[in-house]
Amino acid sequence: MGAHAAARVMEFRPLRRALATLALTTALVPFPGGGAQAAGGAAGAGGLNLVSMDEVVVPIIEADRVAGNMRFKLVLETHDAAAAAKATADLPRLREATVAAALEFARLNASGLRAIDAERLDHDLNGALKAADHGISRVLIVEVAASHS
């Protein structure tokens, strides 16, 4: 290894150390809400009332053909525990509103060849689900992806 290559390796060691420190710090810092888990129905922890929804998959239609699909997972944050219980009981109806909003979003704004505009999807889903159930304070997108077929 020449002197020039050795100098470049020396320059990256502090960066590598900083990235390792950042990764360790991120792993040890608790998440907001005291680490509330949103798996399987309603979960109230740290004042949060969360209801998870199974993955939603909708087709992306371009030029009268299926060009791919959009997949996402949601967690619904409700005002209180009673609203979380109601949302859990109404999950089929809420899923119907979610699929309708997602189909419209995919028709107008999605492509299997580019990233999903998560901010716009968030806006559309929040509007649709808050209208469907007034106990929902916000919709959290925890995973979103598009694929080309």
Q: At what angle do helices 91-109 and 118-132 cross, to 10 degrees?
A: 150
62 and 18 within one domain: no
Which residues, other chains included, contact 65 with Cβ-Cβ below 8 Å and sequence gap of 6+?
A: none
**85 lies in some domain:** yes
**92 lies in some domain:** yes
74 and 16 within one domain: no
Supply the range of the domain harboring residue 7. Answer: 1-30
- Identify the CATH number of the domain in which residue 86 sits: 3.30.479
- pLDDT level of residue 96 (50, 70, 90 thresholds): very high
pLDDT above 90: residue 77: yes
- pLDDT level of residue 64 (50, 70, 90 thresholds): confident
**37 lies in some domain:** no
141 and 109 within one domain: yes
Domain count, the chain: 2
Q: pLDDT tens digit string along 8-60?
A: 444 545 555 555 554 444 444 444 443 344 434 445 456 789 999 999 999 99
Lowest mean pLDDT among 5-14, 63-72, 136-145: 5-14
66 and 123 within one domain: yes
- When pLDDT is averaged across residues 70-81 and rounded to a whole number, the result is 96
96 and 23 within one domain: no
